[in-house]
A = this chain, B = another copy of it.
Amino acid sequence: MISQEKNSGNADTPGVSVRTGRAHPVTLRDVAEAAGVSTATVSLVINKKKNARIADETRERVSAAIRQLGYRPNAMAKNLVSGTSRFIGLVADGVATTPLAGQIIHGAQDEAWKNGYALLIASTEGSRDLEADAIAMMLEYKVRGILYSTWFHRPTDIPETLREADFVLVNCFSPEPGAARAVVPDEAQGGRSATEILLRRGHVRIAFINAATPALARDGRLQGYKDALEAAGIPFDPDMVLEAAPDQEGGYGATKELLRRNVTAVYCYNDRMAMGLYDGLRENGLSIPDDIAVVGFDNQEVIAAHLRPPLSTVSLPHYELGAAGVRMLLGLDGAPIESAVKVMCPTIERASVTAPPAA
């Protein structure tokens, strides 16, 4: 009867604490000996093999031994035999570069776990070298597949070695159509939804403060704005589209121009710009939503939910992107075509919108 071993942490880094490094861990064989059976039998009861016919009495003897010895199966050995691991790799070009990006990890982790997989992550900070190392590492660990993600929605080259694995692109996609499976947010639908929040309340003169920097989101969100207007029978007026840096300063700075437009509502490229715009509007004695209605994009909680008044916006579905990526990898999401699957951006209504003053 061996006393419960409380330990592990092998001492390959000498000079650390007093851990007894490798105190010959309990193995299957130990359990077998303790229970007086063969290792095959132990393996059978542990894995609850259906067609294995083991006497209940034996089964119990084995279970008791396992508990006694505090046995832990060695996943490495298991995987060696089976040829695969229960790992899914996630390589990201920035782990927590933006608060939203972290949600990709979160979604992937939850979904992976739900399906019995563990998440192996690596952040490359945009370095091609680190990226190659990360992918190599994952390949060596025989991951089930790899999620290759970017922190902002964009086209991307597929690293050569990535092709050695089963993979899906998350929040990015290959410029060559059909080159790889991918999940991305539906920017156009998001832009349309954002605009519709305003339309529904009766706004007609709606400005759009877009990002001045090129980005897929910029084109998509503008397209959505146009689509919504068109569907509502409102002619698109290019003059109603302003451009500014996609942050608070940009939103604030756009105030003056905006006020020349005589609008009753604004849709901002993102929540940060909306936050800056709030300041600008207030300085001009305008109140939100009564004088002017505002909607944002991203649903960056810390900001959107706590502005005064709270901001109506459209959510960037990063959590869902991560989760969908895993499902796609595992083939759980009905056969996705070999072109990027678009995930919907849900509408989040808060208090920054009411009917226009005139209406």
Contact = CB atoms under 8 A, between A and B. Distances in A.
A144 interface: yes
A202 interface: no
Contacts of A14: 331
Contact of A331 (B7, B13, B130): B13
A70 B17 CA distance: 41
Contacts of A335: 15
B121 A72 contact: no
Contact of A75 (B103, B123, B142): B142
Contact of A105 (B8, B96, B282): B96
Given A7-B164, A16-B330, 19 more contacts: A5-B164, A9-B166, A12-B84, A16-B331, A72-B139, A72-B164, A74-B140, A75-B140, A76-B80, A95-B102, A102-B105, A106-B123, A109-B121, A109-B123, A113-B130, A118-B137, A118-B141, A248-B306, A276-B306
21 contacts: A6-B163, A7-B164, A8-B139, A8-B165, A12-B144, A22-B84, A70-B164, A72-B139, A73-B140, A74-B142, A76-B80, A78-B140, A95-B105, A95-B106, A102-B102, A106-B123, A113-B130, A119-B121, A121-B121, A252-B308, A279-B308
Closest CB pairs A-B (n = 4): A9-B166, A16-B331, A99-B99, A96-B102
